[in-house]
């Protein structure tokens, strides 16, 4: 296995994720569908002649009816001048104003697109325009969105991809797995019908992964992938910074909330709870190591994890309520947990003092388990108890 592919690809015929190559008889379909190609550009002047030349060939050799929208963020590198003199009326450079960014540029381009099929791709020739007809044919074959994909059989990336870039891409792709079954959901090369955009409440222009945003927000489940070879850029430099990669995590969180609603709050609440267990144990051991009495140390662990759980739940699990008073929220949270905390403390102390040989960590976990069960039971039978005429489950 090379470092370039995420897995040993199965042979092209047997990879169910890969969309079939178009039958020759269907080739005319591409020529019947007018396409708007949307390309975000920032300082890509050197790449424009190659990009426009290859799309022009597509237009003439494959008979595609298309417009090219270059969504430029005031590059000031001669891009505008080059387009003005290139002599193609189907190429339009739109100089954007307002906040610069790949996703907002693509979203503006999608709104301006005149044609029913939209293809989004990069300007740096990483994405081969020659694959556009196959992608459009796959749309006609019934897919809702088609990705030019590195990770289906027949797809590949250039040799220059080092281990860390591969690992980075691997982890980022795995994190998106609950959101879509696509193998290359991070791709900036994809085709879909403009009308699908009406299915999204709102498209958020953060981050680099506008394809993933469209898939999740428009609830597209029938996503096909056409294999491509992803070439490293020949000119200019990548604009993908570490900051953009951190923004991706933020983007993922929002997409999880959009797709899974309450379940994503519960999942975050449980992850915060798990982090609280770690905090609790660390504080407990630190206090004991400093010579603090064990009973006080159990209480210290509980108190510090209460605060860390509160802050993390406020920041993540229930971030929608961050506008409200932090003091009131803390009193409510501590009140809701208070009796459970006393149970937790008492069980920890009992286990430790009266069951000889119980290590601190086991006594602490026993207390956490008892407190959790107690919280569940009081919530189930006191806070959320059945009304007088119970609803049958």
- Which positions lie near ligand GDD, rule CB under 6 A? 40-42, 44, 71-73, 100-102, 105, 122-124, 126, 186-188, 208, 233, 238-240
Task: Choose the one of ligand GDD, Mn ion, none that binds residue 186, judging by a C-beta under 5 to 8 angstroms depending on kind.
Answer: ligand GDD
* Choice between 225 and 348, CB closer to ligand GDD: 225
Q: Which of residues 201-260 bind Mn ion (CB under 5 A)?
A: 233
- In DSSP notation, 63-83 reads ---EEEEEEE----SSHHHHH
- Given a contact cutoff of 8 angstroms between Cβ atoms, the answer to whether 224 and 145 are in contact is yes
Q: How far apart are the first and last CA of the chain?
A: 52
Task: Pick the closer one to Mn ion by CB: 238 or 250.
Answer: 238
Among ligand GDD, Mn ion, none, partner that 44 touches (CB below 5 to 8 angstroms by kind): ligand GDD
Residue 101 binding result from ligand GDD, Mn ion, none, given CB thresholds of 5 to 8 Å by partner type: ligand GDD
Residue indicated by tokens 């993390």: 312
Query: How long is the chain?
Result: 393
Q: Which is nearer to Mn ion, 73 or 122 (CB)?
A: 122
Report whether 119 contacts 36 (CB < 8 A).
yes
How far apart are alpha carbons 361 and 379 in whole angstroms? 27
Residue 380: count of CB within 10 angstroms of its CB: 11
Residue with smaller CB distance to ligand GDD, 58 or 370: 58
Per partner kind, with CB cut-offs from 5 to 8 A, the member of Mn ion, ligand GDD, none near residue 184 is none
Closest approach, Cβ 12 to ligand GDD, in A, equals 22
State the residue number with the nearest CB to ligand GDD.
188
Least Å distance, CB 314 to ligand GDD, is 32
* Residues 109-148, interacting with Mn ion (CB under 5 A): 122, 124, 126
Distance between CA 158 and CA 125 in Å, rounded? 12
Task: Tell me which of Mn ion, ligand GDD, none is bound by residue 73, counting a contact when its beta carbon lies within the kind-specific cut-off of 5 to 8 angstroms.
Answer: ligand GDD
What contacts 104, CB < 8 A, 6 or more positions away?
A: 96, 98, 205
Supply the minimum distance, in Å, between the C-beta of residue 109 and ligand GDD. Answer: 9
Q: Least distance (Å) from ligand GDD to the CB of residue 210?
A: 7
The residues, any chain, with a CB within 8 Å of residue 249's CB and separated by 6 or more, are 175
Q: Given the complex with ligand GDD, which of 103 and 268 has the nearer CB atom?
A: 103
The residue ranges that bind Mn ion (CB under 5 A) are 122, 124, 126, 233
């Amino acid at each position: 296995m090379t470092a370039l592919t995420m897995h040993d690809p199965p042979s092209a015929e047997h990879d169910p994720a890969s969309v079939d190559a178009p039958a020759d008889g269907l080739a005319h379909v591409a020529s019947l569908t007018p396409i708007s190609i949307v390309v975000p550009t920032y300082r890509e002047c050197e790449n424009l002649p190659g990009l426009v030349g290859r799309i022009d060939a597509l237009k003439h050799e494959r008979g595609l009816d298309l417009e090219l929208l270059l969504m430029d963020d005031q590059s000031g590198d001669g891009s505008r001048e080059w387009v003005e003199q290139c002599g193609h009326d189907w190429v339009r450079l739109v100089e954007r104003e307002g906040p610069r960014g790949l996703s907002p540029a693509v979203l503006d381009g999608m709104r301006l697109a005149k044609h029913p099929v939209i293809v989004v791709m990069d300007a740096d020739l990483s994405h081969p325009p020659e694959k556009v007809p196959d992608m459009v044919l796959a749309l006609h074959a019934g897919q809702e969105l088609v990705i030019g994909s590195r990770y289906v059989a027949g797809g590949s990336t250039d040799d220059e991809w080092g281990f860390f870039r591969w690992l980075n891409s691997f982890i980022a792709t795995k994190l998106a797995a609950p959101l879509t079954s696509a193998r290359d959901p991070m791709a900036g090369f994809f085709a879909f019908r403009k009308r699908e955009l009406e299915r999204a409440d709102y498209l958020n222009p953060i981050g680099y992964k506008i394809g993933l945003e469209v898939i999740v927000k428009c609830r597209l489940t029938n996503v096909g992938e056409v294999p491509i070879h992803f070439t490293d850029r020949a000119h200019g430099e990548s604009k993908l910074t570490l900051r953009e990669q951190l923004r991706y995590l933020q983007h993922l969180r929002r997409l999880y909330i959009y797709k899974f609603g309450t379940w994503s709050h519960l999942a975050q609440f449980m992850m915060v709870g798990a982090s609280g267990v770690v905090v609790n144990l660390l504080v407990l051991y630190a206090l004991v190591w400093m010579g603090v009495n064990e009973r006080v140390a159990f209480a210290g662990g509980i108190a510090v994890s209460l605060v860390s759980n509160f802050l993390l739940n406020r920041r993540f699990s229930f971030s929608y309520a961050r506008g409200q008073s932090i003091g009131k929220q803390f009193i409510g949270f501590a009140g809701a947990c208070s009796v459970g905390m006393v149970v937790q403390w008492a069980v920890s102390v009992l286990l430790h003092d009266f069951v000889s040989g119980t290590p601190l960590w086991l006594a602490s976990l026993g207390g956490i388990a008892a407190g959790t069960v107690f919280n569940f039971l009081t919530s189930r039978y006191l806070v959320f108890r059945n009304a007088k005429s119970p609803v049958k489950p």
